């Protein structure tokens, strides 16, 4: 148990993506909505699927599967959009991420969390806060503040602005 794992112990929303289990800190989750119509925005990277209108606010939506360098998320009956609030240099941003299915909220103690691996993962190490151990399964704990670069956040802001115009 280290100070790092103590710091990230807490509640996490778990979700499936390409048959792997991921989690985000529950404090970053605003809500979970059904997958619905997205408005595409021209000139965006493939991982930025478009924007949605969420009660009058334009929210950009990303496909984590594509963002992690894998395949696009296949839309199914349990596909949903997790709405997150993330801190950036410019302040708080609201984004949506498409996931295969939301699983549950887990409470992880410091002794259930290992530091992020330094190799052998298809996801960049800076995207990962740590690895949660739940029963005999590993859960990738995402660092939502690092899943998007500053350039991508700027692109998302442009997408939202274009859609509002």
pLDDT band at 98 (very low <50, low <70, confident <90, very high): very high
Residue 37: name the closest of 58, 52, 48, 47 by CA.
52
In the chain the domains, ranked by start, together with CATH numbers, are: 3-164 (2.40.50.180)
pLDDT confidence band for 21 (50 / 70 / 90): very high
Joined tokens for residue 110? 């410091």
Using alpha carbons, select from 118, 101, 102, 108 the residue that is nearest to residue 138: 108
pLDDT tens digit string along 113-124? 988 776 554 555
pLDDT of residue 93: 85
Q: Does residue 150 surpass a pLDDT of 70?
A: no
pLDDT band at 1 (very low <50, low <70, confident <90, very high): very low
Helix (H) or strand (E) holding 49: strand 48-54
pLDDT for 103 beyond 80? yes
More confident residue, 136 or 1: 136
Q: Across residues 79-101, what is the average pLDDT? A: 88
């Amino acid at each position: 148990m280290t100070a790092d794992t103590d710091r990230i112990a807490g509640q996490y929303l778990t979700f499936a993506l390409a048959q792997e289990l991921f989690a985000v800190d529950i404090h970053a989750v605003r809500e979970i909505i059904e997958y619905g119509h997205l408005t595409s925005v021209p000139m965006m990277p493939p991982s930025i699927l478009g924007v949605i209108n969420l009660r009058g606010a334009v929210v950009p939506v990303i496909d984590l599967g594509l963002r992690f360098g894998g395949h696009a998320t296949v839309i199914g009956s349990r596909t949903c959009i997790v709405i997150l609030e993330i801190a950036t240099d410019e302040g708080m941003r609201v984004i949506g991420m498409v996931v295969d299915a939301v699983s549950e909220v887990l409470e992880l103690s410091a002794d259930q969390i290992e530091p992020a691996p330094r190799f052998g993962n298809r996801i960049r190490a800076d995207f990962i806060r740590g690895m949660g151990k739940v029963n005999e399964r590993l859960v990738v704990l995402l660092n939502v503040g690092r899943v998007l670069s500053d350039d991508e956040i700027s692109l998302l802001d442009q997408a939202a602005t274009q859609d509002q115009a």
